[in-house]
Structure 1
């Protein structure tokens, strides 16, 4: 693969990652999961949104391979799949804290 094509593919993949994170519900879900794995009910409580909405966005994050789900008894617990995503979200938060909007 030519370097320009590989770079274009990488940039496109990065864009897909940022699109997956860039909604008013998905980004806060990822922020919560950056701290620790959470059940759907914990995410609903933390975010103050409905369970169906949280579940819908978790499906998108799973399809983007950003989160995984584990069963704990009858409960589903979601976790980040990749520490890189944790760092991206953490660095973005730090940037905003230091530089504002």
Structure 2
């Protein structure tokens, strides 16, 4: 057996009940695309930094830019992307734009992702 084939079944086999259950639970194509898009948006290091900063407190764009060492225009571009994905929300207070996480689900995504990359299982 070739080294590349180690993760394949050695004999072709099917388990009809397993296949039937898996097909019944399959996400529809629209949900798959939406989830893939969300993970793509979360795949950017700058956006992760912004979300992490906002997980602690609401912040104005100036403060986010200063915290990340970026200019406001670059931060604003990332915030628009995060807002379009409903990961952050904003409010205006006079001339200031304040951002916060859209809801607790965003914190859960961050926490679960951190937990996943932090745990060790003896591999």
Scaled by the length of structure 1, what TM-score is found? 0.82
**Structure 1 71/12 Cα, relative in aligned 2: closer, same or farther at 3 Å?**
same
The structure richer in helix per residue is: 1
Of 27, 33, 49, 2:54 maps to 33
Name the SS for the 1:25 alignment partner: helix
Higher Cα radius of gyration = 2
**Structure 1 8/38 Cα, relative in aligned 2: closer, same or farther at 3 Å?**
same
Of 68, 79, 82, 1:61 maps to 82
Name the SS for the 1:65 alignment partner: coil
Moved more, 90-99 or 67-76: 90-99
Larger relative contact order, structure 1 or 2 (CA cutoff 8 Å, min sep 6): 1
Q: CA RMSD in A?
A: 1.9
Scaled by the length of structure 2, what TM-score is found? 0.69
* 2:71 corresponding residue in structure 1: 50
CA deviation after TM superposition for structure 1 residue 5, in Å: 7.5
> 4+ residue runs of structure 1 moved beyond 6 angstroms?
none
- In the alignment, the residues of structure 1 paired with residue 115 and residue 88 of structure 2 have an alpha-carbon distance, to the nearest angstrom, of 22
1:4-52 per-position Cα deviation (integer Å, ceiling 9, x unaligned) = 7853322221111111111121111111112211111111122112211
- In the alignment, the residues of structure 1 paired with residue 102 and residue 108 of structure 2 have an alpha-carbon distance, to the nearest angstrom, of 12
